[in-house]
Structure 1
Amino acid sequence: MSLHFLTSKLLKKTGSLVLLLGAIASTSSLLNACSAAAQKQAQDPNPTVTAAGSMQMDHGNMNQAGGMMNHTMEMSLGPADANFDLRFIDAMTPHHQGAVVMAKEAQQKSKRPEIQTLAASIIKAQAKEIAEMKQWRQAWYPKASSTPMAWHAEMNHMMAMSESQTKGMMMSMDLGAADSQFDLRFLNAMIPHHEGAVTMAKEVLSKSKRPEIRQLAQAIIKSQNAEIAQMKQWKQTWYKQ
């Protein structure tokens, strides 16, 4: 066997080995990347909005039978800068929209006239405020993106909300069947929802200089605190909770 033949055969084997090792390395890198992504998703399957209307929510367990729901919320609309009112509008608008969604569901499913009256009041008041906020946004921030904006507390700057974050701001949920526990589930959802609005409105009073925004915040605090007190009273009367 000639030296030329042996050399040629060895080179072919070496080349195949190099290709094989390269493929293994590429596959290993891909698997590691996929594993890291999967691990991150498992650790953080539902990213919270650390932005303003920054709302970090731990909904706890929504017990459909008893309507129990635990909320821990942390909100920050960011510093009192030129875009503070923009972030408030972009947080409160979907938040109001979420209240309207649940109120409309209550109109369809609740048999209690008290809940029907409250639902109608929420829809009327908050639909009006949504329209006002949209007009203000267009007039005051004509160059702003149509995407809602928020304050990222950790990165210390404003950012666009993702679609899932905007939905998170709504804080709305399916309230379940029109059964004997429906009103309890509605109350357990709407009370913390109103409390979230009051929290943001109070921040407005300490940071916003626009009289329109301040007047809206005062109206939210007054009306929704009154509704919170009423809903808590109904819970005690109807469900001993």
Structure 2
Amino acid sequence: MKIASRVAAGTGALVLSLALAACGGPEEAADTGATGAATQEPAATATTGAPGDAAVDEAHNDADTMFAQMMIVHHEGAIEMSDLAVEKADSEKVRALAEGISAAQGPEIETMTSWLEAWGEETTPMDHGGMDHGGMDMEGMSQEEAMAELEGLSGPNFDRRFLELMTAHHEGAVTMAEDQLADGENPQALELAQKIIDDQQAEIAEMEQLLQGL
């Protein structure tokens, strides 16, 4: 009886041990699987983040660089004029137009700046002289001269002169964008150039209508 009891006890212990091992097996496998999944997550995250990192197409040529650099300066001039119009315009329609110009061109400046940084290019041109050829030139006036004239005007006279000068300014932007379409390479810069043409031609038409009403 003692021997049988010992055998039974030994058998029971063995069964219990096997049962515990069987229970532990899936848990360890699950742990291993979880660890494997955790190990794979960073790789998946990196892959997911890659398209965002590559969002800016780095393929570009000198025309793309010049377009972005010069259009940033050009947009800054338009925003400077528009902000003045928001303060001084006599007509609510002129003020609303100026607000729209400033709101649209600010983000475009940020976009072009991010391109230049991604391309490893300077964000400002070394020489602004090129802006005087179909760019910043407004009826033979520089940005500084145009601002000085506008600051000396008020009422309907301000509105009229703002619309005239901004029309000339927009025409310069359209010319610059057309040059980009002809000579540029970067697809994002080409897309923005076309958008600038479309947007600013529409605003030119709006300003011509406003001028007729003054």
Common fold, TM-score beyond 0.5?
yes
List aligned pairs for 1:134-149, cutoff 5 A: 134-140=113-119, 142=120, 144-145=121-122, 147-148=124-125
Among 134, 153, 157, the alignment partner of 1:177 is 153
3-state DSSP of counterpart to 2:99: helix
Among 157, 172, 176, the alignment partner of 1:196 is 172
CA gap 1:167/1:197 in 2 versus in 1, 3 angstroms:
closer
CA distance in 2, matches of 1:87, 1:226: 25
Given that residues 201 and 218 in structure 1 are in contact (C-alpha distance below 8 angstroms), is that contact kept between their aligned partners in structure 2?
A: yes
Which residue matches 2:70? 91
The CA deviation string for residues 49-101 of structure 1, in whole angstroms up to 9 with x for no partner, is xxxxxxxxxxxxxxxxxxxxxxxxxxxxxxxx821111111111100000000
Name which of structure 1's ranges 185-194 and 111-120 shifts more when overlaid on structure 2: 111-120
Among 130, 152, 158, the alignment partner of 2:109 is 130
CA distance in 2, matches of 1:219, 1:146: 21
Unaligned runs of 5+ in 2: 1-59, 137-141
**Higher alpha-carbon Rg:** 2
Unaligned runs of 5+ in 1: 1-80, 149-159
3-state DSSP of counterpart to 2:201: helix
| Greater helix proportion | 2
The CA deviation string for residues 112-170 of structure 1, in whole angstroms up to 9 with x for no partner, is 11111111110011001000000000001x1x34551xxxxxxxxxxx306xx488565
Greater relative contact order structure (CA < 8 Å, 6+ sep): 2
The CA deviation string for residues 212-241 of structure 1, in whole angstroms up to 9 with x for no partner, is 111111110111001101111111221xxx
Q: Which runs of 4+ in 1 moved over 3 A?
A: 144-147, 165-171
CA distance in 1, matches of 2:67, 2:190: 11
3-state DSSP of counterpart to 2:156: coil
Given that residues 83 and 98 in structure 2 are in contact (C-alpha distance below 8 angstroms), is that contact kept between their aligned partners in structure 1?
A: yes
Name which of structure 1's ranges 217-226 and 203-212 shifts more when overlaid on structure 2: 203-212
CA distance in 2, matches of 1:133, 1:123: 16
CA distance in 1, matches of 2:96, 2:204: 14
CA RMSD of aligned residues (A): 2.0
